[in-house]
Structure 1
Amino acid sequence: MMKKEAKFYIILSVFMLTVALISVAVMMEYGGNSDQKDEKLVLRYGDVNPEGNITVESAHYFADRVNELSHGRIEIDIYTSGILGDELQSYQQLQMGALDFYRANGSSLSKLNDMEVSILSLPYLFRDREHFWKVCSGPIGDRILENIRESGSQMVGVFFLDEGVRNLMMAEEPVRKLSDMKGKRIRIMVSDILSDTISAFGASPVVTIYAELYNTLQKEEIDGAENPVSSYYSNKFYKVAPYYIKTGHMYAPSVVVMSEITWKHLSPEDREVIRKAAEMTEAYNQSEIQKAEDDAYSRLSQVEIIEPEDPDEWKAAVQPVYEKYGAGNEELIQEIRETK
């Protein structure tokens, strides 16, 4: 296991270095040309999800709109299934200019810097999908996207995506009430808020590479994990974790971020193309996410889908998370909660 992982990281490191060197060469050439209007530009976009997932479908929609609005001059290549690395590795590539776009999670972005986007990952913050989009597509969302760049992350917040509310999946036995979580090992992404949320439920959070999650569940190295139903289905986690518990504990938004290096090299006209395509993609995602979730649930007939007992008990358990991460952000949290 260790040898395989070491080999994987060596290969990935060599690949990332090669991509970085190529990117620098491309940017030098692009930046040295004062006439960009007719120059073809190929950009790279990464996502940890596979083809068929709503976030990847949204990525393709975004790429198509950019291509159309630029009259075929700008192309975006989509790299799926975490082929370019996990989230933290992808953030590093963005900062180097080796990757142009990445579909990030607001929860993991907070590991890079103190960003307002992390507040959107607080458990049970959003009432429902309508509330989520009222916040993310309104003035609060605009401010939070701008804050990504202002924080010094070396990234630019471009637009939000809705991957769906996050729920629990269990491999060997179901969870029906909060006390069932005691001692369970639950895989999470890199996120302090999510880690503390799972701990507040009485379980033990375990950080693993997303690409290894299926095997980790299959080998029973963990008891469960958490994911939106669209990802649960598209990644086929139901084959190794046949219990899906609708805790709805987090509505952490996906945030498409762009390398600030790439952004600075774009002309004003090309930036406007990106902005318009971003608006169109948010609208597309809003119209498609519910259908993606309904389709996923309709295909999970072999899975036991569980409504947890006493939802209020779960919500009460995470109060310490608010006390820890809400400090200094009380006004923003109140503003979000009062959004109608």
Structure 2
Amino acid sequence: MKGIVSSAVVASALFFTGCGDNKGDSNQASASNESAKQTYTLKFSHVVSPNTPKGKAADYFEKRLEELTDGQIDVQVYPSSQLYKDNAVLKALKLDSVQMAAPSFSKFGKIVPQLALFDLPFLFKDIDHLHRVQDGEVGQALKDMVTAKGYKALSFWDNHFKQFSSSVKPVLMPEDAEGQKFRIMSSKVLEAQFKAVGANPQMMPFSEVYSGLQQGVIDAAENPISNIYTKKFHEVQKYLTISNHGYLGYLVVMSEKFWNSLTPDLQTKVQQAMNEATEKEREYAEALNKEQFNLIKEYAEKTGKLEIFELNQEQREAWKNAVSKIYPEFYDKDVIGKDLINKTLATE
């Protein structure tokens, strides 16, 4: 019996020793897996300086995503066209040469022309209505269209609303635009908008707008306050009208290949960081718009060379009645689409 008991004790000792070894192996394997966790490098390319709303939001996104992923995703922001200009970045995203960018809507014109929805004049009641559209069904439909073209569309970022400026007369009623040569960027919507009120739309590169206004090649323009102030358009125009008639913005997109390489958990964290960065970007854009408008007002008061007006409700209604007649021209779903336009108008 003693021999049998001894054997049992030895066997028992071996059994528990084996269990201890297996547990150690398991812990070691877990630690090994943790240390071998895949890391990612995300290059975010944009064309503006770091102190702009887009630039500051990109930097915020970098910091927040690295926090949320404990550094598993290393975000590297390249501002001021250090990697790519907007006209080249969409191709770079396709090749996964860069993983994220925030081009202006106009750069998607040939890919998803429906983004011209934001060019339609007097479509949005105010900035809050605009954001409800972007964050709702219409915004998701537009992002899905971009995603279907081989990108991952993440969020809309603000530049801001556009304003009228002129050297001829204040642009307060639709008839005030008649005969004036307005600079526009390449857009069928903008061309139709000015033709609807008897104006003469002139396509011109943005880099030539200042000299065009200064030399009288064009009479008038439409720009957000940031463009007007930084490019000093207010110094070569006599009248500025706060009309908030159209919108300029950016769409933040990611390389489809990079997005698909991420685990569902990491994808969720990317979207969370982007949602938070979007809120920050909107705050930055609104603050900058107010700050620069105040500087333009100071210039106007100091020099007496610029008069500033703001459309009242009656004037806005007159403009909307005059230009909304172009909406049906873009009802075709391959252009913008009646459904998107009507859903935008119906958004509360």
> Could you tell me which of 104, 122, 127 is aligned with 2:120?
122
CA offset digits 1:62-84 (Å, max 9, x no partner)? 23323333334422323237984
- Is this contact kept in 2: 1:36–1:267, CA < 8 A? no
Determine the C-alpha separation between the residues in 2 that align with 1:208 and 1:100: 31
Task: Give the count of matched residue pairs.
Answer: 301
Counterpart residue type for residue 124 of structure 1: F
Contact kept? 1:58, 1:284, Cα under 8 Å: yes
Per the alignment, residue 278 of structure 1 pairs with: 274
**Separation of aligned partners in 1, 2:278 and 2:110:** 25
Q: 2:321 aligns with which of 316, 324, 333?
A: 316
Aligned-partner Cα distance in 2 for 1:71–1:137:
28
Determine the structure 1 residue equivalent to 2:299.
302
Equivalence for 1:100: 99
Mapped contact 2:49–2:79 kept (Cα < 8 A): no
Equivalent residue number for residue 77 of structure 1: 77
- 1:127-171, Cα deviation, whole Å (9 max, x unpaired): 112211222122332232122112x2x332110122221112335
- Identity %, equivalent residues: 24
Distance (whole Å) between structure 1 residues aligned to residue 229 and residue 274 of structure 2:
26
Question: Separation in 1 of the partners of 2:67 and 2:236?
Answer: 41
1:135 is aligned to 133
Where do 5+ consecutive residues of structure 1 fail to align?
1-34
- Describe the SS at the equivalent of 1:77: strand
TM alignment of 1:1-340, pairs within 5 A: 37-39=37-39, 41-47=41-47, 49-72=48-71, 73-80=73-80, 84-85=84-85, 87-106=86-105, 108-109=106-107, 111-150=109-148, 152=149, 154-170=150-166, 174-241=170-237, 243-300=239-296, 301-303=298-300, 304-308=307-311, 310-328=315-333, 329-340=337-348
The one-letter amino acid paired with 1:75 is V
CA contact (8 A) 2:168 2:180 kept: no
Mapped to 1, the partners of 2:272 and 2:44 lie a distance apart of: 18
Shift in Å at residue 321 of structure 1? 2.1
TM-score, length-scaled by structure 1: 0.75
Instruction: Quote the Cα distance in structure 2 between the aligned partners of 1:51 and 1:62.
Output: 13
For the 8 Å contact 1:115–1:147, the answer to whether it is kept is no
CA distance in 2, matches of 1:274, 1:200: 43
Residue deviations 1:255-299, cap 9 Å, x none? 222333443444544433321111101222343433222212211
Check the 8 A contact 1:54/1:230 in 2, yes or no: no
One-letter code of the match for 2:340? L
Structure 2 unaligned regions, length at least 5:
1-34, 301-306
SS of structure 1 residue aligned to 2:111 = coil
Q: 1:66 to 1:176 in 2, by over 3 A?
A: same
| Equivalent-residue separation in structure 1 for 2:83 and 2:195 (angstroms) | 30
Q: In structure 1, what is the Cα distance between the partners aligned to 2:206 and 2:269?
A: 32
* RMSD value, Cα: 3.1
User: Measured at CA, do residues 188 and 88 of structure 1 come closer, stay the same or move farther in structure 2, by a change above 3 Å?
Assistant: farther
**Matched AA of 2:184:** I
Report the residue type matching 1:305 in the other structure: I
User: What is the identity, as a one-letter code, of the residue corresponding to 2:346?
Assistant: E
